[in-house]
Amino acid sequence: MNNNTLYITIWDDDVDRMETLGKNLCEAGRLCDCAIKLAFMSEPPLLARMQFAGKTPVLEIGGVYWHMRSGQTPDTEACARLLKKFLAAA
């Protein structure tokens, strides 16, 4: 494994979706040869203050917020495509 480590915060109000997305991101990290360090944010007032209510899941990577589709969990392949784009830009 190389020295690429991505710190990702999953913003969501659905615990099951956060768990699945976390697993998908970790698997995508292995596919992209990077380490993934996850944090989770699910506090409803903070989600509302960040204007994420109804838009979750949202990923925060390097201070940039990524939103794919509301209410849907991106699969491993979609996560890998996102990570590759982010790693290419870094």
- Give the pLDDT band (50/70/90) at residue 86: confident
The pLDDT mean for the chain works out to 92
- Give the pLDDT band (50/70/90) at residue 3: low
Q: Domains in the chain: how many in total?
A: 1
- Expressed as residue numbers, the domain containing 29 is 5-89
Going along the chain, which residue ranges are E strands?
A: 5-11, 35-41, 58-61, 64-67
Contact 38, 61 (CB under 8 A): no
Per-residue pLDDT tens over the stretch 8-37: 999 999 999 999 999 999 999 999 999 999
Residue 2 has pLDDT above 60, yes or no: no
Find residue 9's DSSP bridge partners. 39, 60
pTM above 0.85, yes or no: yes
Contact 74, 21 (CB under 8 A): yes
Spatial CB neighbours of 41, under 8 Å, sequence gap ≥ 6: 9, 10, 11, 12, 47
Whose tokens are 């956060």? That residue is: 18
Residue 24 belongs to domain with CATH number: 3.40.30.10
